[in-house]
Amino acid sequence: MKKLLILLLALGAVQLNAQDLELYKQVVKELSSDKFQGRGYAKDGANKAGKYLQKEFEKAGVKDVTVQPFTIDINTFPGKMELSVDGQILTPGVDFTMREYSPGIRGTFPLYYVDTLNYNSEKIFQDLAKPENKDAFVVCDFMFSYKHRADFARLQKKDGAPNAGILFTWDEPMKFYKAYGEKVVDKPIIWVPHRFPRDAKSLSADIENKFLKDFELFNVIAKIEGRDHSQCYVFTAHYDHLGNLGKDV
């Protein structure tokens, strides 16, 4: 996302002392607390963080602090985040993570494993049309799918194949992104680690997403005047973060 914290410092020396360091530790601890809900969007954590930073700049004596509003479209996961395989409950952020553009999903679905050693795309689509594979989740290594991206793009489209979604095996630790969260695709895409069982039969899911259209955010801009106005330092940083992966993570 393009939300930036901007601090303009005119030329001048800044000396860090122990008192400053303790303050910065306190600020980092505060911004990392549950109060800000991961500084994401689902529970307005990013805007809470922005207001906190604005007050901290003012408290520090910065006279020129302004906010710059803007809007984004963003997909979020603020609610239920439940997934189990053959009855075994998986932990979000550890055993699975959602792709940022995934819709929610609820139900129990068979699992269909892609044969990467004897890959045949037409056979995959023929198999998925069989009654026993109705609404299946396709399981495949992500890097392998990347080599056959045209086939898997078809699997991700509602009218491309009758599968309910895709499980991509991926490296640990599990990662959660929001780079492409400005949209919601047809089917859920879930990342699981390579240790995901290869003999599991079914997957049960209860996952909620909420798409926020024209969500209001703001940049915090602070300026400190110096003696020399011929040059300036510009520091930028994101104060928003990943936010929620379900209500408890």
pTM reported for the whole predicted model = 0.86
* Domain boundaries along the sequence of the chain: 5-74+213-237, 80-207
H helix or E strand, kind and range, residue 5: strand 5-11
Query: Which residue from 145, 146, 159, 163 is spatially nearest to 105, judged by alpha carbons?
Result: 163
pLDDT per position as a tens digit, 79-120: 999 999 999 999 999 999 999 999 999 999 999 999 999 999
Burial of 147 (0-12, 13-18, 19+ CB in 10 A): exposed
Q: Percentage of the chain surpassing pLDDT 70?
A: 94
pLDDT per position as a tens digit, 28-54: 999 999 999 999 998 899 999 999 999
Query: Which residue from 150, 217, 215, 159 is spatially nearest to 185, judged by alpha carbons?
Result: 159
Q: In the CATH hierarchy, which top-level class contains the domain 80-207? A: alpha beta
